[in-house]
Structure formats: structure tokens, C-alpha cells
Amino acid sequence: MGRKEDNIEKATKLIEKPEKIRNMGIAAHIDHGKTTLSDNLIAGAGMMSEELAGKQLMLDFDEQEQARGITINAATASMVHGFGDNEYLINLIDTPGHVDFGGDVTRAMRAVDGAIIVVDAVEGVMPQTETVIRQALRERVKPVLFINKVDRLINELKLNGDEMQKRFLKIITDVNRLLGKYSPPEFRDSWQVNVQDGRVAFGSAYHNWAISVPAMATYKITFKDIVDMVREGKQKELAKKAQLHKIILDMVIKHLPNPKEAQKYRIPQIWKGDIESPIGKAMANCSYDGPVSMMITKIIVDPHAGEIAVGRVFSGVLRKGSELYVSLAGNTKYKVQLLSMMVGPDRISVDEMAAGNIAAVVGLKAAIAGSTVSSIPDMDPFEPMQHYTDPVVTLAI
């Protein structure tokens, strides 16, 4: 069995273990490296060729490969990552931050419980960094920080160690100021990022390496070693010693919540129905017993399957053949004709999708992005998603 097939098999086994799932997004100001990081994580986890990842603009590749890149960017990609003695299913949901700025970012944020905020080490915190942090926190999505393009500080700006430290400190302070400003009050302190516990990683998404303070001990590498290797043109070697996907996915597993933990505090924010009702309880507990509830975050169009509704299952178990109601579509029931998960760029057909997962469903014809889907006819819909424009624009209004 190839690595990819092996991963697919493992992924389908993890969908019923919520404590082993992380639903996360990557959010950044334009050009700070979100796409490069996403591609390299997926490739590192064995789901896409490493040559292709992050080099889309530079390489000439065939149409199918290009189409795959687009598929990845279109919705979600699941990866399996080993951490300690366990394997985890990481669902990376694309949060299109730039072109289609606004609604789509917020919708994607609804599906995730955690986010990697990417900040370019050269540019620092920019207006859209603030916007995406605000979007994430409004949805009670917990952040970690990746400071990207560190190779440029070394090779282009030729900074020394002290100067680099100063830059990192400024970025971390700026990010924490925003986290302090927009975090839900109960997480204002505990969601601040810090270097010591590993909620901040540094690296180069393009050159495929990263490091964090705890990882320096685990992988036996110092910051000085890294700087020396980059200066000496040994980034390929560095990418083997301090692998981007390992360090970033370790950080995700360790510091971002699983759906069971997250739904407890997220549901009261994103759904205003009766939390003591059967569906309210099922969602707050991410329970498999109880009614199905799902929020559609995106509709994608597949040349073979037609319209596919992608979204987060918050309670119950979605089954092929189930009949479900779609908000604003009256009492009509829609049959789940095909159910799948996206593993890397591939859509894998499954029979069941349990609470806490991201599912792709064919058959929910009335669904649009933002629809509430449920096995009960009168479920209170999820809160509409509010999106923010750039702070600069907000100030001008």
C-alpha cells in the first residue's frame, strides 16, 4: 500500500474518535504564505507530491495537477499525523482570505476550532492580519502563530540574532495585543501566544522548515544552527532536520482543541437555541447519539458528482441514505446520496460521518453556504455569520 492509500485508510478510521481530530484553518494577510504553508503541510503528510507543493507558480505541470491544486484550495484537505504514540486526523479547511475577502473566511472559520495565524517576518502584522484574527476570535477559534519567511531575514535583510529576536518580539507583541482586544473575555489571558510553550513557530514555508522552542529540544537543533544553515545555503538539509509539517502539525495537535473540547464553548456562541434541548446538549457534547446537525460552509461543484455541500457536523452521525432537513427549505427532506471526506486532494466515499468532522454531501439540493442541516424539521438555525472588512475600511466608514 502506498503512503497515500495508507493515510486514507487511517483517516477513515479516525473519524469516530473526536479526541483525535483537529479542525483547523490557516489565516493570513495576502502574500504572507498561507497557500505555500497549506500545500507543504499536505505534501509533508504524504498527500501530495512534495515537488509540487508551494511551487505552483514556478513549475510547469500538467492540467490535472493544477486542477488538484485548485481542489485543495477549494474546500478541505484531511491529513493523518503521528504525535507521541497516537495518530491524529487533521482537517485543514481553506480560509480564502484575500480575493473573496469576507464572507468565505467567516464561513470557513465556523467549521474550524483552531487557526494558524501566519505572519510574514519581513512585513509584520498587517491590516488583514487583524481582520482574520478578529474573524477567528468571534467564532471562538483558538489561534497559534507561525512567523513565516524567516529565510528572508537571514539571507536578504542579513539581520543578526539580536535584530531577529527584536522582530519576532514585535510580531508576537502585536499579535497578542490583537488577541487581547478581540478574544472572548474568558480566553483573554489563556489564548495569548507565547514562545516558551510552543504556541509560536518560526520558519520558512517555502523552504519547508520550521522550529519552535519545544521542538529545538525534541529535534536537537538550536536557533544558531538554523541561522548558520540558512546562511550556508543548506536549507534543503534543514528541511530534513526541522521538517515544517512535523513541527507545525505537532503544534496544532498540542495546542488547538479537539471538537469535543471546542464545541462546549463554541456552540453557545454560534447557536442561540435552547442549550438544554436534546439537540443543544448533543451539539455541546459533540455527541453521536442525538439528532444530526450540520452547518454548510461551502458548496463546491464537481464535474462528476455535481453540487457538493461541505460543512461541519456538530452532532449525531450522518449516514448515506439519511433524510435531512435544510433550513429555509420548509418540510422537504433531502436524501444523502453520497457522503465523503476529502483526504488530501481526493474525495473518499464513506458510509458515515460523525459529529466533529467535516463532511462533503451530495443530495442536499436546497443547501447553500450558511444553511443549517438537521435530522429534525424545526431546528433553530445556526447564527448568521457576520464578517468584518479591513479595519482600515471600517475606520473610514
**Residue 146 Cβ vs ligand GDP, minimum distance, rounded to whole Å:** 10
**Residue 48 Cβ vs ligand GDP, minimum distance, rounded to whole Å:** 15
Q: Is 69 in contact with 153 (CB distance < 8 Å)?
A: no
Nearer to ligand GDP, 187 or 223 (CB): 223
Nearer to ligand GDP, 206 or 334 (CB): 206
3-state secondary structure of 83: strand
**Residue 58 Cβ vs ligand GDP, minimum distance, rounded to whole Å:** 8
- The annotation status of 141 as a binding-site residue, yes or no, is no
Q: Please state, as a whole number, how many other Cβ atoms lie within 10 Å of the Cβ of residue 384.
A: 8
**Residue 245 Cβ vs ligand GDP, minimum distance, rounded to whole Å:** 14
Nearer to ligand GDP, 105 or 309 (CB): 105
- Range 306-326 burial, b when 16+ CB lie within 10 A, else e: eebbbbbbbbbbbbbebebbb
- The annotation status of 34 as a binding-site residue, yes or no, is yes
- The annotation status of 4 as a binding-site residue, yes or no, is no
Interacting residues with ligand GDP (CB under 6 A): 28, 30-36, 98, 148-149, 151-152, 204-206
344 vs 69: CA distance, rounded Å: 10
Q: Is 105 in contact with 94 (CB distance < 8 Å)?
A: no
Nearer to ligand GDP, 73 or 192 (CB): 73
Report CA dihedral (363, 364, 366, 368) to the nearest 10 degrees: -120
Nearer to ligand GDP, 116 or 282 (CB): 116
- The annotation status of 129 as a binding-site residue, yes or no, is no
- The annotation status of 97 as a binding-site residue, yes or no, is yes
- The annotation status of 241 as a binding-site residue, yes or no, is no
Backbone angles phi, psi at 213, to 5 degrees: -60, -50
- The annotation status of 289 as a binding-site residue, yes or no, is no
Nearer to ligand GDP, 11 or 147 (CB): 147
- The annotation status of 95 as a binding-site residue, yes or no, is yes
**Residue 295 Cβ vs ligand GDP, minimum distance, rounded to whole Å:** 25
- The annotation status of 245 as a binding-site residue, yes or no, is no
**Residue 28 Cβ vs ligand GDP, minimum distance, rounded to whole Å:** 5
Tell me, what DSSP letter sits at residue 110? H
Backbone angles phi, psi at 328, to 5 degrees: 65, 10
138 vs 47: CA distance, rounded Å: 31
The angle formed by the CA atoms of residues 257, 261 and 267, to the nearest 5 degrees, is 110
Q: Phi-psi category of 366—alpha, beta or left, where left has phi over 0 and alpha has psi -120 to 50?
A: alpha
**Residue 329 Cβ vs ligand GDP, minimum distance, rounded to whole Å:** 35
Backbone angles phi, psi at 337, to 5 degrees: -85, -40
Q: Please state, as a whole number, how many other Cβ atoms lie within 10 Å of the Cβ of residue 229.
A: 20
**Residue 33 Cβ vs ligand GDP, minimum distance, rounded to whole Å:** 3
362 vs 228: CA distance, rounded Å: 52
Nearer to ligand GDP, 148 or 287 (CB): 148
Largest CA distance in the chain: 66
Nearer to ligand GDP, 108 or 364 (CB): 108
- The annotation status of 35 as a binding-site residue, yes or no, is yes
Q: Please report, in range form, the residues annotated as the binding site.
A: 28-35, 94-98, 148-151
Q: Please report, in range form, the residues annotated as the binding site for GTP.
A: 28-35, 94-98, 148-151
